[in-house]
Chain A
Protein backbone atom coordinates (compact mmCIF):
# COMPACT_ATOMS: atom_id res chain seq x y z
CA UNK A 1 0.00 0.00 0.00
CA UNK A 2 1.58 3.26 -1.11
CA UNK A 3 -0.87 5.63 0.54
CA UNK A 4 -0.49 7.67 3.70
CA UNK A 5 -0.39 5.53 6.79
CA UNK A 6 -0.95 6.53 10.40
CA UNK A 7 -0.27 4.67 13.59
CA UNK A 8 -1.96 3.92 15.89
CA UNK A 9 -5.49 3.98 14.53
CA UNK A 10 -6.99 4.36 17.97
CA UNK A 11 -5.55 5.57 21.25
CA UNK A 12 -7.22 5.78 24.64
CA UNK A 13 -5.22 7.56 27.28
CA UNK A 14 -5.72 8.97 30.73
CA UNK A 15 -5.71 12.70 31.23
CA UNK A 16 -2.23 13.97 31.91
CA UNK A 17 -0.43 11.27 29.93
CA UNK A 18 1.71 11.94 26.87
CA UNK A 19 0.87 10.42 23.50
CA UNK A 20 2.75 10.24 20.21
CA UNK A 21 1.33 9.55 16.78
CA UNK A 22 3.20 8.61 13.64
CA UNK A 23 2.51 9.42 10.01
CA UNK A 24 4.20 7.93 6.95
CA UNK A 25 3.41 10.02 3.88
CA UNK A 26 3.40 8.96 0.25
CA UNK A 27 7.09 8.50 -0.50
CA UNK A 28 7.66 11.20 -3.12
CA UNK A 29 5.55 13.82 -1.32
CA UNK A 30 7.52 16.73 0.11
CA UNK A 31 4.68 18.37 1.97
CA UNK A 32 3.10 16.87 5.08
CA UNK A 33 0.17 18.25 7.03
CA UNK A 34 -1.42 17.54 10.39
CA UNK A 35 -5.08 18.29 10.98
CA UNK A 36 -7.48 17.72 13.85
CA UNK A 37 -11.16 16.96 13.37
CA UNK A 38 -14.00 16.81 15.85
CA UNK A 39 -17.52 15.59 15.21
CA UNK A 40 -19.51 17.78 12.85
CA UNK A 41 -16.56 19.98 11.94
CA UNK A 42 -14.19 20.06 9.03
CA UNK A 43 -10.51 19.28 9.59
CA UNK A 44 -8.66 22.09 11.38
CA UNK A 45 -5.12 22.87 10.32
CA UNK A 46 -2.45 22.23 12.96
CA UNK A 47 0.91 22.37 11.22
CA UNK A 48 2.76 21.49 8.06
CA UNK A 49 6.21 20.56 6.84
CA UNK A 50 8.08 21.09 3.63
CA UNK A 51 10.57 18.25 3.74
CA UNK A 52 12.00 18.43 7.27
CA UNK A 53 11.21 22.11 7.83
CA UNK A 54 8.15 22.97 9.89
CA UNK A 55 6.83 26.03 8.07
CA UNK A 56 3.76 26.97 10.05
CA UNK A 57 1.97 26.13 13.26
CA UNK A 58 -1.62 27.02 13.95
CA UNK A 59 -2.53 29.04 17.00
CA UNK A 60 -4.59 25.96 17.91
CA UNK A 61 -1.32 24.18 18.57
CA UNK A 62 -0.55 24.95 22.21
CA UNK A 63 2.83 24.42 23.84
CA UNK A 64 1.73 20.91 24.73
CA UNK A 65 1.79 19.93 21.06
CA UNK A 66 4.95 19.31 19.10
CA UNK A 67 5.55 17.86 15.68
CA UNK A 68 8.68 16.69 13.94
CA UNK A 69 9.70 15.36 10.59
CA UNK A 70 13.36 14.62 11.25
CA UNK A 71 14.53 13.30 7.89
CA UNK A 72 11.82 14.68 5.69
CA UNK A 73 10.05 11.35 5.58
CA UNK A 74 7.78 10.20 8.43
CA UNK A 75 6.43 12.65 10.99
CA UNK A 76 5.42 12.42 14.62
CA UNK A 77 2.90 14.47 16.57
CA UNK A 78 3.27 14.47 20.33
CA UNK A 79 0.75 15.75 22.83
CA UNK A 80 2.01 16.23 26.35
CA UNK A 81 -0.20 16.28 29.46
CA UNK A 82 -3.29 15.37 27.49
CA UNK A 83 -6.61 17.01 28.33
CA UNK A 84 -10.14 15.83 27.60
CA UNK A 85 -10.44 18.58 25.02
CA UNK A 86 -7.69 16.91 23.02
CA UNK A 87 -10.06 14.06 22.16
CA UNK A 88 -10.42 14.15 18.38
CA UNK A 89 -9.40 12.50 15.15
CA UNK A 90 -5.85 13.47 14.19
CA UNK A 91 -5.36 13.35 10.46
CA UNK A 92 -2.14 13.39 8.50
CA UNK A 93 -1.99 14.26 4.82
CA UNK A 94 0.72 14.62 2.23
CA UNK A 95 0.97 16.35 -1.12
CA UNK A 96 3.50 16.61 -3.90
CA UNK A 97 3.63 20.41 -3.89
CA UNK A 98 2.05 23.32 -2.07
CA UNK A 99 -0.57 23.66 -4.81
CA UNK A 100 -1.63 20.07 -5.40
CA UNK A 101 -4.24 17.94 -3.73
CA UNK A 102 -3.47 16.25 -0.45
CA UNK A 103 -4.04 12.60 0.36
CA UNK A 104 -5.06 11.63 3.85
CA UNK A 105 -4.22 8.76 6.12
CA UNK A 106 -6.96 6.95 7.98
CA UNK A 107 -6.36 9.05 11.06
CA UNK A 108 -5.64 8.38 14.71
CA UNK A 109 -8.68 8.63 16.94
CA UNK A 110 -7.65 9.88 20.37
CA UNK A 111 -9.86 9.53 23.41
CA UNK A 112 -8.72 11.14 26.63
CA UNK A 113 -10.50 9.79 29.70
Chain B
Protein backbone atom coordinates (compact mmCIF):
# COMPACT_ATOMS: atom_id res chain seq x y z
CA UNK B 1 0.00 0.00 0.00
CA UNK B 2 1.35 3.43 -0.89
CA UNK B 3 2.05 5.79 1.99
CA UNK B 4 -0.02 8.56 0.42
CA UNK B 5 -2.77 8.02 -2.11
CA UNK B 6 -4.65 10.62 -4.08
CA UNK B 7 -7.46 10.68 -6.58
CA UNK B 8 -5.50 11.50 -9.74
CA UNK B 9 -8.41 13.27 -11.41
CA UNK B 10 -8.39 15.09 -13.68
CA UNK B 11 -10.99 17.44 -12.33
CA UNK B 12 -12.21 19.69 -15.12
CA UNK B 13 -14.28 22.53 -13.72
CA UNK B 14 -15.63 25.85 -15.03
CA UNK B 15 -14.42 29.13 -13.64
CA UNK B 16 -16.22 30.01 -10.45
CA UNK B 17 -16.97 26.41 -9.52
CA UNK B 18 -16.03 24.66 -6.30
CA UNK B 19 -13.82 21.61 -6.50
CA UNK B 20 -12.77 19.29 -3.70
CA UNK B 21 -10.60 16.21 -3.48
CA UNK B 22 -9.08 13.96 -0.87
CA UNK B 23 -5.91 12.18 0.00
CA UNK B 24 -5.45 9.19 2.31
CA UNK B 25 -2.34 8.24 4.24
CA UNK B 26 -1.34 4.90 5.67
CA UNK B 27 0.72 5.74 8.74
CA UNK B 28 -1.40 6.75 11.71
CA UNK B 29 1.69 8.19 13.43
CA UNK B 30 2.17 10.86 10.76
CA UNK B 31 2.94 14.17 12.35
CA UNK B 32 2.27 16.96 9.89
CA UNK B 33 0.43 17.49 6.65
CA UNK B 34 0.64 19.84 3.70
CA UNK B 35 -0.79 20.62 0.32
CA UNK B 36 1.64 21.64 -2.41
CA UNK B 37 0.87 22.96 -5.85
CA UNK B 38 2.94 21.97 -8.87
CA UNK B 39 2.72 23.55 -12.30
CA UNK B 40 3.88 21.65 -15.38
CA UNK B 41 7.65 21.05 -15.31
CA UNK B 42 8.11 23.30 -12.27
CA UNK B 43 9.03 22.57 -8.69
CA UNK B 44 6.36 21.92 -6.02
CA UNK B 45 5.38 25.02 -4.06
CA UNK B 46 3.76 25.05 -0.66
CA UNK B 47 0.07 25.89 -0.85
CA UNK B 48 -0.83 25.45 2.78
CA UNK B 49 -0.17 23.46 5.90
CA UNK B 50 -3.06 21.38 7.23
CA UNK B 51 -3.95 21.65 10.90
CA UNK B 52 -6.07 19.35 13.00
CA UNK B 53 -8.77 21.97 13.42
CA UNK B 54 -8.92 22.63 9.69
CA UNK B 55 -7.75 25.84 8.15
CA UNK B 56 -8.60 28.27 5.43
CA UNK B 57 -6.47 30.49 3.25
CA UNK B 58 -8.56 32.68 1.01
CA UNK B 59 -10.43 30.44 -1.39
CA UNK B 60 -8.66 27.30 -0.17
CA UNK B 61 -9.83 25.18 2.74
CA UNK B 62 -7.95 22.17 4.10
CA UNK B 63 -9.31 19.56 6.50
CA UNK B 64 -7.61 16.76 8.37
CA UNK B 65 -9.40 13.69 9.66
CA UNK B 66 -6.96 11.71 11.79
CA UNK B 67 -9.47 8.99 12.68
CA UNK B 68 -10.05 8.12 9.03
CA UNK B 69 -6.55 9.16 7.95
CA UNK B 70 -7.49 11.50 5.19
CA UNK B 71 -6.86 15.10 4.19
CA UNK B 72 -9.02 17.18 1.92
CA UNK B 73 -8.61 20.34 -0.11
CA UNK B 74 -11.48 22.49 -1.29
CA UNK B 75 -11.10 25.32 -3.77
CA UNK B 76 -13.92 27.83 -3.98
CA UNK B 77 -14.60 30.24 -6.84
CA UNK B 78 -12.04 28.54 -9.08
CA UNK B 79 -9.80 30.71 -11.22
CA UNK B 80 -8.03 29.80 -14.44
CA UNK B 81 -4.78 30.22 -12.52
CA UNK B 82 -5.77 27.40 -10.16
CA UNK B 83 -5.09 24.89 -12.94
CA UNK B 84 -2.26 22.76 -11.61
CA UNK B 85 -1.43 19.46 -9.96
CA UNK B 86 -2.05 19.43 -6.22
CA UNK B 87 0.23 17.21 -4.17
CA UNK B 88 -0.74 15.83 -0.80
CA UNK B 89 2.25 15.61 1.52
CA UNK B 90 2.53 13.74 4.79
CA UNK B 91 5.39 13.89 7.25
CA UNK B 92 6.13 10.62 8.99
CA UNK B 93 9.37 9.12 10.19
CA UNK B 94 10.73 12.69 9.89
CA UNK B 95 10.56 12.84 6.12
CA UNK B 96 7.98 14.03 3.63
CA UNK B 97 6.04 11.53 1.53
CA UNK B 98 4.18 12.74 -1.53
CA UNK B 99 1.10 11.53 -3.27
CA UNK B 100 1.12 11.28 -7.05
CA UNK B 101 -1.00 14.40 -7.32
CA UNK B 102 -4.50 15.46 -8.34
CA UNK B 103 -4.77 17.37 -11.59
CA UNK B 104 -7.21 20.26 -11.70
CA UNK B 105 -8.07 22.09 -14.90
CA UNK B 106 -10.22 25.20 -14.69
CA UNK B 107 -11.83 26.20 -17.99
CA UNK B 108 -13.19 29.56 -19.04
Place the interface of chain B in its size category.
20 to 34
Place the interface of chain A in its size category.
20 to 34
* CB pair A42 B95 closer than 8 Å: no
A-B contact pairs, 16 of them (CB 8 A): A35-B98, A42-B4, A42-B87, A42-B98, A42-B100, A48-B94, A48-B95, A55-B94, A89-B41, A91-B44, A98-B91, A99-B32, A101-B46, A102-B46, A102-B96, A104-B44
Cβ-neighbour of B94 out of A44, A98, A101 (below 8 A): A98
Which residues of B lie under 8 Å from residue A44 when comparing CB positions? 98
In chain B, positions 69-108 with a C-beta closer than 8 Å to chain A are 87, 91, 93-101
Query: From B32, which residue of chain A is reached at the shortest CB distance?
Result: A99
B42 contacts the other chain (CB 8 A): yes
Which residues of B lie under 8 Å from residue A104 when comparing CB positions? 43-45
- Report which A residues bind B (CB closer than 8 A): 33, 35, 40-45, 48, 55-56, 89, 91, 93, 98-107
* CB pair B44 A43 closer than 8 Å: yes
Q: A44 to B87, alpha carbons, bound, how many Å?
A: 12
* CB pair B101 A105 closer than 8 Å: no
Which residues of A lie under 8 Å from residue B98 when comparing CB positions? 35, 42-45
B55 contacts the other chain (CB 8 A): no
Q: A89 to B100, alpha carbons, bound, how many Å?
A: 15
- Report which B residues bind A (CB closer than 8 A): 4, 31-32, 34, 41-46, 49, 87, 91, 93-101
Task: Say how far A102's CB is from chain B's closest CB, in angstroms.
Answer: 6
Which residues of B lie under 8 Å from residue A93 when comparing CB positions? 96
Q: A101 to B95, alpha carbons, bound, how many Å?
A: 10
* CB pair B97 A100 closer than 8 Å: no
Query: From B49, which residue of chain A is reached at the shortest CB distance?
Result: A101
Q: A107 to B43, alpha carbons, bound, how many Å?
A: 7
Q: A28 to B37, alpha carbons, bound, how many Å?
A: 24
Task: Say how far B1's CB is from chain A's closest CB, in angstroms.
Answer: 15
* CB pair A99 B44 closer than 8 Å: no
Which residues of B lie under 8 Å from residue A98 when comparing CB positions? 91, 94-95
Cβ-neighbour of B95 out of A40, A41, A45, A105 (below 8 A): A45
